[in-house]
Structure 1
Amino acid sequence: MIVEPLQLTVSAAFAGLNAGSAISADQIDAAEKRLGLALPEALKDYYLVAGGYPEMMEKDFHLFSPEKLRIEGDYLVFCEESQGGAVWGIHRNNLLTLPNPRVEGRAGNAQKWFSESSKLSAFLLGIGAWQALLSQEETARCELPEKQLKKIEAQFDYIGERSLRLGGHRVGLIYRDAAAPLIAAYLFNSEMLYVGTPEEGLIERIEELSGLDFEWL
């Protein structure tokens, strides 16, 4: 479902680097047997493509490895905030009936769950790009009202088909020039564009081309 866009994210963020201890299909199968349910295709894809890169699993969001997936009430919990302030999961009914289920969140020790993303694929593609850019040597951000997103479409491509990437709070982008490695994430709730690159001077070049005004992080 999201193998190709995840591969695009990984290749842009970690070019020339080999994955560490990758997550195997056997680990996924064992988790399904332990939990007594089938994991969504998008989550399996994330494990198989990005699971070998610690930055993709544990940077700002901590995605649980298959062995640490757990059931809380009616939810399969698969992700938590790095500081443990929130967790994200999928309701059992949606796991059983939807190929690309909704993601819900729960803050701290609260009992009530809230809607986070209408599609698991959008949640995973968004945080995958976010984790990848935060791992880069140079990172920056700028304000960009959503109605002005078209302003950067000449330099950037979205990560994933529209039907898979939309529905969450963030979306990933890749700089169109393959020789200039840069990955980005746009946050709809704050209307901020974040970028990350290992290449010195690239962000300044993009500022000149796009007219954006970045603040270094």
Structure 2
Amino acid sequence: MAEMFLEKFRSLVPQYLDDAWQPEDGLTPQELDEALEVSGVSIPLALREFYLALGGCEDLMEAYYYIWDPEELEIEDGYLLFMEDEEEKYVWGVRADQLDVPDPIVHRRLNARGTWKSEEGTFSEYVLDMFEWVFEELEPELGD
């Protein structure tokens, strides 16, 4: 299958880290496949290309929320979980019955209640918007 998201995800390194993308910022296909073997899950194309582009880049994998390493991925409540917040109040995932969709809709679970809510954006949209929000928040205000 043709790459759909790889270059867009790679472009996040120069955009937010002010450095050129390097191969070590991502995982090799072999590293990713071995990690997925450990977790025992299959993943959608967008998430696969995210790991290939940025799976080795801690500055982005842990920029605000924690995007799980591929060997940590798991299916719970009918969702493939891939990210959590620092306080573990929320976890994000995509529906397990949508793993064959190249860029599925992201959902968020409030862990205290176990309730899921759609984020109303696909994985690629959600991740790109999240980084934009995170790095805008981190920019010092004018005059500081």
Q: Same fold (TM over 0.5)?
A: yes
Q: Which has the higher helix share?
A: 2
Q: Which residue of 2 aligns with 1:54?
A: 58
CA distance in 1: counterparts of 2:121 and 2:44, whole angstroms: 14
Alignment of 1:36-51 (within 5 A): 36-51=40-55
The answer to whether structure 1 residue 122 and structure 2 residue 114 are counterparts is no
Aligned pair partner of 1:72 in 66, 72, 76: 76
CA distance in 1: counterparts of 2:51 and 2:136, whole angstroms: 18
Aligned pair partner of 2:90 in 73, 86, 89: 86
Aligned pair partner of 1:28 in 9, 28, 32: 32
Report SS of the residue matched to 2:15.
helix
Alpha-carbon spacing, 1:2–1:132, altered in 2? closer, same or farther (3 Å):
farther
Alignment of 1:1-217 (within 5 A): 1-16=4-19, 22-96=26-100, 98-133=101-136, 138-140=139-141
Where structure 2 has 5 or more consecutive residues not aligned to the other structure, the ranges are: none
Q: Which residue of 2 aligns with 1:156?
A: none
CA distance in 1: counterparts of 2:26 and 2:10, whole angstroms: 14
Equivalent position amino acid for 1:73 in 2: D
Where structure 1 has 5 or more consecutive residues not aligned to the other structure, the ranges are: 141-202, 205-215
Alpha-carbon spacing, 1:68–1:82, altered in 2? closer, same or farther (3 Å):
same
CA distance in 2: counterparts of 1:104 and 1:112, whole angstroms: 10
Q: Displacement of 1:55 after TM fit?
A: 1.9
- Bigger Rg, structure 1 or 2: 1
CA distance in 1: counterparts of 2:73 and 2:115, whole angstroms: 20
Partners of 2:39 and 2:72 within 8 A in 1: no
Partners of 2:14 and 2:21 within 8 A in 1: no
Give me the CA root mean square deviation: 2.6
> TM-score when scaled to structure 2?
0.79
Q: Which has the higher strand share?
A: 1
Alpha-carbon spacing, 1:85–1:8, altered in 2? closer, same or farther (3 Å):
same
Q: Displacement of 1:29 after TM fit?
A: 1.1
